[in-house]
Amino acid sequence: MRSVSVDLNNDASLLIDIPDALCERDKVKFTVHTKTTLSTFQKPEFSVPRQHEDFIWLHDTLVETEDYAGLIIPPAPPKPDFESPREKMHKLGEGEATMTKEEYAKMKQELEAEYLAVFKKTVQVHEIFLQRLSSHPMLSKDRNFQIFLEYDQDLSVRRKNAKEMFGGFFKNMVKSADEVLISGIKEVDDFFEQEKTFLLDYYSKIKDSTAKAEKMTRSHKSTTWNFFYLFIFLTLKLGKLSDLFEKLRKVEGRVASDQELKLTELLRYYMRDIQAAKDLLYRRARALADYENSNKALDKARLKSKDIPQAEEHQQQCLHKFDKLSESGKRELTGFKGRRVVAFRKNLIEMAELEIKHAKVSNIMTGSHAERVLLDSCVASDLSNSTWDPY
């Protein structure tokens, strides 16, 4: 089940997917496959290798493009995190001596499955990023985006060096300070005023929810793992019951991962999306501040009767920019709202359906198993016998 968190109105003119990805140590190479009818592309169909950093680069260039200031730039995909499964793998390797072969094999299998799940998820978020770009009327026409899709060599994007990293950090600082500063400016438009308070509030809430949901899924997973340990232990002891435990554990695991996919990922994505929307608001507020500053400058110039035309021009520019931002911002935010509701709806329905499905499956399993336990008088003796058995 793909398409996690966003409902994308795929128009057939530009279809992007990531059919394949390769994991090389700490780098992940995605194969970005594009199918298009647009004439701006040389070929109707092509695939290029891209890395995570290329995605980040694309995102950053989009953010920095002046023209897109009035748009919600789709949030960049998070860095692939294979740390936790890798760490577990590592631990497994260490614990190899203390485990029996079966235990080790089972465990390894399980870890590989988890690794695969993380991998898939990573691919998916990257895919979504591209799909959102492609579905956006303006962003899909972006030159850099098209280069990203089409250029069949390594983009070999220059990695950010330490100074730039610091610069980015500094910029963020300035931005948030600026945000505080310009927050004093009186909002001229009720819509944006409302949007702003809503988004701020919503952002903090969704951030909290995301953290909580993450915690929940994590502990759900560790419960599953615990189940797994228990199962491993029981397999060796009581053949028949372990069967059930194994199945239950699998279902439980699926519940946990579905929950993560449908709920946590949704929340997480929208947390980032809201951040993007907030950025848009910031840019607009910045423009508003600029406009007011330019007004003041014009006033001053008039007072001094000096450089009036320049100031006027500047003021006009600022006004124009602000108006443009407001206009596209309004559109974007309304679109965002609709998108969010649709996405939540879809995901919540899916989650509820999955929960029901899993619960039913495990219910049937447990039921049939309970029946079997009841019918099969051997189970009890089996149980005791096998529990007695030394390895």
Partner 1 sequence: MATSSERSPPPFPDSEDQYVLDSEEVGGRDCDEEDGEDLFMSAIEPPLTDTTLPTASQTSDDLLKPPSDIMNNPLNEPASGQTQNKPASAAVSEHSDDFIDLTNNVVATLKDATEISLDEPSDDFVDLLGSETEPPREEVVLADVSVEAVMGKSEVAGSDTDSPGDGKQEAKESSPVPIIDLSESSSSNTQQPPGTDKVFDPLADLLNDSPLITDAKNPRSTTTDPFIDEGSDLFSEPWQTKSAKQPQKSLFGEPDEDLFGEPLHTISKKTLNKEQKNKPVTTKAAADDTINITGPLQESKPVEPADLFSEEAVASAPSISNTSKASAVNAKTNGVLSEEDTDIFAEATVELSLDSPRTERKKEVIDKPSATALSLSAAASLTMPQAAALEELEEVEEEEQEDKFDIYVSVKDPEKIGDGMNAYMAYKVSTQTTLAMFRNKTFTVRRRFSDFLGLYEKLSEKHGPNGFIVPPPPEKSILGMTKVKVGKDDSSAADFVERRRGALERYLQRVVNHPSLLQDPDVREFLEREELPRAVSTQALSGAGFLKMINKATDAVSKMTIKMNESDVWFEEKLQEVESADQHFRKLHTLVESLVIHRKELSLNTASFAKSAAMLGSAEDNTALSRALSQLAEVEDKMEQLHQDQAANDTFSFAELIADFIRLLGAVRGSFDQRMKAWQRWQDAQAMLQKKRETEAKLLWANKPDKLQLAKEEIAEWEAKVTQYERDFERVSATVRKEVIRFEKEKAKHFKRQIVKYLESLLQSQQQLIKYWEAFLPEAKAIA
Q: Give the footprint of partner 1 on this chain (CB under 8 A).
A: 198, 201-202, 205-206, 208-209, 211-213, 215-216, 218-220, 222-223, 226-227, 229-230, 233-234, 237, 241, 244, 248, 337, 340-341, 344-345, 348-349, 351-353, 355-356, 359-360, 362-363, 366-367, 369-371, 373-375, 377, 379-381, 383-384, 387-390
Residue 102 beta carbon to partner 1: minimum distance, rounded to whole angstroms: 15
Measured from the CB atom, the residue of 226 and 293 that comes closer to partner 1 is: 226
Q: How far is CA 241 from CA 246, 255, 379, in A?
A: 9, 21, 8
Residue 247 beta carbon to partner 1: minimum distance, rounded to whole angstroms: 12
Measured from the CB atom, the residue of 11 and 201 that comes closer to partner 1 is: 201
Measured from the CB atom, the residue of 9 and 377 that comes closer to partner 1 is: 377
Query: What 3-state class would DSSP assign to 32?
Result: strand
Strand partners, 24: 27
Measured from the CB atom, the residue of 69 and 277 that comes closer to partner 1 is: 277
Residue 245 beta carbon to partner 1: minimum distance, rounded to whole angstroms: 11
Measured from the CB atom, the residue of 46 and 202 that comes closer to partner 1 is: 202
Residue 45 backbone dihedrals phi, psi, to 5 degrees: -150, 135
Measured from the CB atom, the residue of 197 and 316 that comes closer to partner 1 is: 197
Measured from the CB atom, the residue of 18 and 266 that comes closer to partner 1 is: 266
Strand partners, 47: 33
Radius of gyration of the chain, Cα coordinates, nearest whole angstrom: 27
Tokens for 31?
A: 């194969």
- Residue 80 CA to residue 123 CA, distance in Å, equals 9
Task: Give me the amino acid identity at 154.
Answer: D
- Residue 345 CA to residue 351 CA, distance in Å, equals 10
- Give the strands of the sheet with 27-36, arranged side by side: 14-24, 27-36, 45-51
Measured from the CB atom, the residue of 18 and 238 that comes closer to partner 1 is: 238
- Residue 350 CA to residue 391 CA, distance in Å, equals 44
Measured from the CB atom, the residue of 86 and 240 that comes closer to partner 1 is: 240
Q: How far is CA 360 from CA 223, 224, 255, 352, 368, in A?
A: 20, 18, 12, 12, 12
Residue 386 beta carbon to partner 1: minimum distance, rounded to whole angstroms: 10
Residue 27 beta carbon to partner 1: minimum distance, rounded to whole angstroms: 33
Q: Which residue carries 């372990």 as its tokens? A: 242
Q: How many whole angstroms from its chain centre is CA 60? A: 16
Residue 349 beta carbon to partner 1: minimum distance, rounded to whole angstroms: 4
Tokens for 230?
A: 């228990």
Measured from the CB atom, the residue of 268 and 286 that comes closer to partner 1 is: 268
Residue 187 beta carbon to partner 1: minimum distance, rounded to whole angstroms: 17
DSSP 108-135: HHHHHHHHHHHHHHHHHHHHHHHHHHHH
Question: What are the b/e assignments for 322-356, b being 16+ CB within 10 Å?
Answer: beebbebbbebbeebeebbeebbebbeebbeebee
- Residue 197 CA to residue 187 CA, distance in Å, equals 11
